[in-house]
A and B are shown apart, each in its own frame.
Chain A
Amino acid sequence: MDLTPRTATEPGAQPPASKRRWLPILVVVAALLGGGVIVTQFLTSAIDYYCNVDEIGVRSGCDGERRMRVQGVVEQNSVKQADGGTTFTLDFNKKTLRVTYSGDPGGVFQECIPIIAHGRIVNGVFESDRIEVKHSNQYVEKNAIRIDEANEEAAACSVLKG
């Protein structure tokens, strides 16, 4: 008895099973290639040393004029914007580093926020071509801040009265 599948000849009939299996095979191959690309990109990006400001000149790989990523907090009252560029001071563990960036850093960039700057040190200044703004895992409601401020003002007021 012949149990081999028949060739579909009717109009609108489904294609043979062997042809329909190409798509999943292609997806599996694409997934393998995609996985390889993802791992490669991750490893390539990890080539740039990731240094805190206080590790510059101290930790291996965080010295000289090689390209690196520097993490620190934007110092208060240090941000200056002129000629389309931004300059500021990064602070970490009481060590500081002057940074220049050609453009607006974007995101929620502001004073007193941690950032990661990509670039290299030239003449003691970190020339950055990419800035990523970190945000902490703390989420504080704006209303709560306003209530705290109101409470502080009320407390200050009662001290004056007293």
Chain B
Amino acid sequence: MAGQSSTGTSATRRLGILVILMLAALALCGLWFSAEDVVQGSTVRIMYIHVPSIWTAYIAFGLTALCSGVYLSGKNRSLAWDRVAGAAGEIGVLFVAVSLVTGSMWGRLTWGTYWVWDARLTSTAFLFITYVGYLAVRQLGGTHRQRARRSSVLALLAILEIPLVHFSVTLWRSLHQEASVANPNAKVELDGLMLFSLFLGLVAFTMLFVWLVLHRQRVMMLEDAFSDRGLDVAITARRNEAGV
């Protein structure tokens, strides 16, 4: 990274352009080409953001747990794993927030209410709070290795919430509908272009997530290097004062 003025590379720039094109295609398919739903009308278009958001959050938290596990089990305990875990956690929280907000808007238009203390909504809100806590724990201070160790343990515990969120609609009687694609019946419940738009959203949001993680973990690496450098400077100054 020495001498580099940004966190981007030619590969991430190409990926960024591809993400923009995919999001533009999603906007066209979601808002223009795909038809209205028989019952919900145009409201169904919220699904093309709502579902990909929570999908991406699942991937993000999965990556956080995976990298945390690798960090804790690895011999050399590279901090790079911890930084990717932290970056994925931050972006996951962002996507859960998007999912909660769009879900609330969708709920107002279809259910007639912004929020109910239903199993799916409650477990998703709890997931959001848990990972906000995870991000706060990362900022509690100490050395980079202390940060990595305590946040890795928390990430491995927090990931257990995801099956609870996903299967909450089958475990409890829920106002939230069951999954239309990844359901126990393995039956796809969406018509052609609606399914395509949803799939496009999943791919576009996943690519956006990858692009964001690549940049964020590089920023984190620079932050760690900056704080290490600050410590080195302080130690050198004290040594000079003491004439060591």
Contacts and interface: CB of A to CB of B under 8 A. Distances in A.
B133 interface: yes
B224 interface: no
A135 B112 CA distance: 11
Interface in B131-163: 132-133, 135-141
Interface residues of B, number: 53
B37 A139 contact: yes
26 contacts: A1-B239, A1-B244, A2-B238, A2-B242, A3-B234, A5-B234, A17-B141, A24-B141, A25-B136, A27-B135, A27-B136, A31-B136, A38-B125, A38-B126, A107-B109, A107-B112, A108-B110, A110-B39, A132-B113, A133-B111, A135-B39, A136-B177, A137-B180, A139-B44, A139-B190, A141-B192
Interface in B58-74: none
Contacts of B38: 140-142, 145
Contact of B39 (A3, A28, A50, A108): A108
A113 interface: yes
Nearest to A139: B190
Contacts of B189: 136-139
Contacts of A24: 136-141
A22 to B, nearest CB: 10
A138 B180 contact: yes
B117 interface: yes
A130 B194 CA distance: 31
A44 B141 CA distance: 37
A21 B35 CA distance: 51
A31 B136 CA distance: 9
Contacts of B221: none
The main secondary structure of chain A at its interface with chain B is mixed
Interface of A: 1-3, 5-6, 17, 21, 23-25, 27-28, 31-32, 34-35, 38-39, 41-42, 44-46, 50, 71, 105-110, 113, 116, 130-145
Contacts of B191: 139-141, 144
A142 B43 CA distance: 13
A108 B110 CA distance: 5
A3 B238 CA distance: 7
B21 interface: no
A88 B174 CA distance: 22
B126 A39 contact: yes
Contacts of B138: 24
Closest 7 pairs (CB-CB, A-B): A107-B112, A31-B133, A106-B112, A27-B136, A45-B117, A24-B139, A141-B35
